[in-house]
Structure 1
Amino acid sequence: MSVTELKERHSVATETVNNLRERLKQKRLSLLDTDISGFAKSQGRTPVSFGPTDLVCCRTLQGHTGKVYSLDWTSERNQIVSASQDGRLIVWNALTRQKIHAIKLPCAWVMACAFSPTGQSVACGGLDSVCSIFSLSSPTDKDGNLPVSRMLSGHKGYVSSCQYVPDEDTHLITGSGDQTCVLWDITTGLKTSVFGGEFQSGHTADVLSISINGSNSRIFASGSCDATARLWDTRVASRAVRTFQGHEGDVNAIKFFPDGNRFGTGSDDGTCRLFDIRTGHQLQVYYQQHSDNDVPPVTSIAFSVSGRLLFAGYTNGDCYVWDTLLAKVVLNLGSLQDSHDDRISCLGLSADGSALCTGSWDTNLKIWAFGGHRRTT
């Protein structure tokens, strides 16, 4: 068979797949008679209201000299790790602003960081295509730097995201620009499973974000530049369990809903979306119309403990607090007096739900404290 014939067959097959995908999309839309906000409104539900003291900036963490790209909270103690373009990881005491560790990285172009479940180690990754592990209890070297305790090498592209498997300090999942996700055994430094890549059900572009299901740590989701989110089971690495479509741009952020049955996404198309992992359906779109029709991309998202609130950071410095039930913005942290001066690049909620931390290209992190009655909202 000639090259020309192969190209013709490929073109026909691609057109067939696209037609089937469009028919499937239309069929799904015909079956969805309402969304979450439509049903909530029909039941007379009203949006969450925020008073002037319900969510306030109580601390600014200053110390980075470059853009902040990633942050993570410890699961129990009030500590935060942040990664910056200045080539350092900083571990902060969120209550006192004290810098507990300032870790000089082997590669300055870091894109992701994460605390281990026990808080005894941190991981980071970036343009060096390696996920580096640092044990916070290790002695420093003669220059006062904390040495790398393990380097997880094997990705063929940048490491865009990393997350420890809940309740385990020994396993970690990474997402990469090589279109794959990898489950690592940190003890040996070896890959346990690879998700995607040569497999047809994998992502077809860079993986930008991952989230492990808090209710079932064998399940995780990934978002990609191919505008899809995919659901994976670590016991079946050969193919994605399900593919979720709907976004029209890169999926920059992904986060499981507290009940583990749904997950949220944030995209370059300026929308956040909520998907159900059991049915594969899109449940809700969170989109704020702008008067100038300039829709800023979503960079990062997080849910409140109950899931009633969705926090979304945007490239224009806005940080919306969405009522997930009514699909309504109930507060914009970017409009407050103590807001960031540049793009919101990352955000995360403390384990007890009492505080939100935002990181920005303005080199700072800010901690936003909830009023007592909103702690479990």
Structure 2
Amino acid sequence: MSVAELKERHTAATETLNSLKERLRERRLQLLDTDVASYARAQGKTAIALGPTDLVCCRILQGHTGKVYSLDWTPEKNRIVSASQDGRLIVWNALTSQKTHAIKLPCAWVMACAFSPSGQSVACGGLDSVCSIFNLNSPLDKDGNIPVSRMLSGHKGYVSSCQYVPDDDTRLITGSGDQTCVLWDITTGLRTSVFGGEFQSGHTADVVSLSINGSNSRMFVSGSCDATARLWDTRVASRAVRTFQGHQGDVNSVKFFPDGNRFGTGSDDGTCRLFDIRTGHQLQVYTHPQQDDNKPDVTSIAFSISGRLLFASYSNGDCFVWDTLLAEVVLNLGTLQNSHEARVSCLGLSADGSALCTGSWDTSLKIWAFGGHRTVI
């Protein structure tokens, strides 16, 4: 068979695939009787009113000399760990803005970091394809650095994300550019389960995000460059429980809704979406209001404690606060005083929901808190 014939067949197959995808998308829309916003409006719900003084930048964490790529809060709410292109992990006291630890990493190209549930150790991963664990109580080495306490090796691609299993310092899940997620036993350094890879129900492109269900730690969701999110059960690694489609670009961020029955996604297509894990249906789409086709990428998302607010950061420096019920933007932190000057690459909410931390390519982190006497939403 000639090259020209192969190209012709490939073009025909691509057209057929795109046609089937479009028919599937239309069929899904027909099956949905309504969405969250339409139902909420029918019930007379009104949008939350947030003004420029309701969320204020109360702390600026400066110390990194490179782009900030990832951050995480401790469960006790007062400490943050951040990872930067400068090759360091920094642990911050969020109340005082002071650095408690500055950890020099074996690989400067770090992409993800996470605090353990006890707050005694941190994990990070990046282009070295290894997830490194650091015990914050370890004695310093001769160079004054905290040594690596465990290296989790086994991925065949970069480590894009990592998260400890809730209430368990000995287990951790990573996502990787090798299209898989892995559950690790940190005590032994061995892989407990591999999700995807040779299994047909796995991702077909890089895994770039994951989120563990806070209500049921056996369940987690992953987002991928294949434009899908997949739900997994750690007891059944051989296949994904469900695949969620709808995005037209990489799924850069996934986050479970507080009740554990839904999760949100953020994508390169400029939208955030809300999915129900029980029905597999898409409940709502949150589309960046920019009118042209060059909508900024969604880089990270988080929900408020009640789930009424969705925080979404974008590649153009915007950081929207969405009303999840009505799909309306109620505030843009990017327009407020002391906002970031570059791409907002990551964000996270404190355990009690009282503060939001954002990290940016401008090398800084900022902590936003509700001003006045507003109750936490």
User: Shared fold by TM > 0.5?
Assistant: yes
Secondary structure of the equivalent of 2:295? coil
Whether the 8 Å CA contact 2:179–2:196 is kept in 1: the answer is: yes
Q: Does 1:64 align with 2:56?
A: no
How far off is 1:31 after superposition? 1.5
In 1: Cα distance, 2:291 partner to 2:218 partner: 43
Deviations 1:185-239 (A, max 9, x none): 0000000000000111000000000000000000000000000000000000001
In 1: Cα distance, 2:353 partner to 2:155 partner: 34
Deviations 1:222-269 (A, max 9, x none): 000000000000000001000000000000000000000000000000
Secondary structure of the equivalent of 1:306? coil
Aligned to 1:303: 303
Q: 1:53 to 1:15 in 2, by over 3 A?
A: closer
Aligned to 1:180: 180
Whether the 8 Å CA contact 1:353–1:375 is kept in 2: the answer is: no
Secondary structure of the equivalent of 1:260? coil
Whether the 8 Å CA contact 2:87–2:109 is kept in 1: the answer is: yes
In 2: Cα distance, 1:241 partner to 1:375 partner: 37
Aligned to 1:354: 354
340-349 or 363-372: which moved more? 363-372
How far off is 1:376 after superposition? 3.0
How far off is 1:289 after superposition? 2.3
Aligned to 1:282: 282
Secondary structure of the equivalent of 2:27? helix
In 1: Cα distance, 2:277 partner to 2:306 partner: 18
Amino acid at match of 2:193: S
Amino acid at match of 2:169: D
How far off is 1:321 after superposition? 0.2
18-27 or 171-180: which moved more? 18-27
Whether the 8 Å CA contact 1:138–1:147 is kept in 2: the answer is: yes
In 1: Cα distance, 2:139 partner to 2:78 partner: 22
Q: 1:244 to 1:164 in 2, by over 3 A?
A: same
In 2: Cα distance, 1:241 partner to 1:282 partner: 16
Q: 1:17 to 1:241 in 2, by over 3 A?
A: farther
So what's the TM-score if we normalise by structure 2?
0.95
Amino acid at match of 1:69: Y
Whether the 8 Å CA contact 2:350–2:356 is kept in 1: the answer is: yes
Whether the 8 Å CA contact 1:320–1:332 is kept in 2: the answer is: yes
What is the correspondence of 1:86-125 to structure 2 with a 5 Å cutoff?
86-125=86-125
Secondary structure of the equivalent of 2:38? helix
Deviations 1:128-166 (A, max 9, x none): 000000000100001110000000000000000000000
Could you tell me the percent identity over the aligned residues?
83
**Runs of at least 4 residues of structure 1 off by over 2 A?**
5-27, 291-294, 371-376
In 2: Cα distance, 1:340 partner to 1:13 partner: 45
Whether the 8 Å CA contact 1:255–1:264 is kept in 2: the answer is: yes
In 2: Cα distance, 1:314 partner to 1:7 partner: 37
Secondary structure of the equivalent of 1:209? strand
Aligned to 2:169: 169
Q: Which runs of 5+ in 1 are unaligned?
A: none
In 2: Cα distance, 1:348 partner to 1:9 partner: 46
Secondary structure of the equivalent of 2:357? strand
174-183 or 43-52: which moved more? 43-52
Q: 1:269 to 1:20 in 2, by over 3 A?
A: closer
Whether the 8 Å CA contact 2:370–2:376 is kept in 1: the answer is: no
Amino acid at match of 2:165: V
Amino acid at match of 2:139: P
Q: 1:261 to 1:156 in 2, by over 3 A?
A: same
Whether the 8 Å CA contact 2:51–2:331 is kept in 1: the answer is: no
In 2: Cα distance, 1:186 partner to 1:52 partner: 44
What is the correspondence of 1:123-202 to structure 2 with a 5 Å cutoff?
123-202=123-202
Amino acid at match of 2:184: W
In 1: Cα distance, 2:155 partner to 2:375 partner: 40
Whether the 8 Å CA contact 2:77–2:352 is kept in 1: the answer is: no
In 1: Cα distance, 2:9 partner to 2:346 partner: 44
Q: 1:10 to 1:288 in 2, by over 3 A?
A: closer
Secondary structure of the equivalent of 2:351? coil
How far off is 1:51 after superposition? 3.0
Q: Which runs of 5+ in 2 are unaligned?
A: none
In 2: Cα distance, 1:45 partner to 1:287 partner: 20
Whether the 8 Å CA contact 1:273–1:285 is kept in 2: the answer is: yes
How far off is 1:18 after superposition? 6.1
Q: 1:11 to 1:261 in 2, by over 3 A?
A: same
Whether the 8 Å CA contact 1:255–1:301 is kept in 2: the answer is: yes
In 2: Cα distance, 1:166 partner to 1:316 partner: 33
Secondary structure of the equivalent of 1:38? helix
How many equivalent residue pairs? 377
Q: RMSD across aligned C-alpha pairs, in angstroms?
A: 2.2
Secondary structure of the equivalent of 2:25? helix
Q: 1:193 to 1:89 in 2, by over 3 A?
A: same
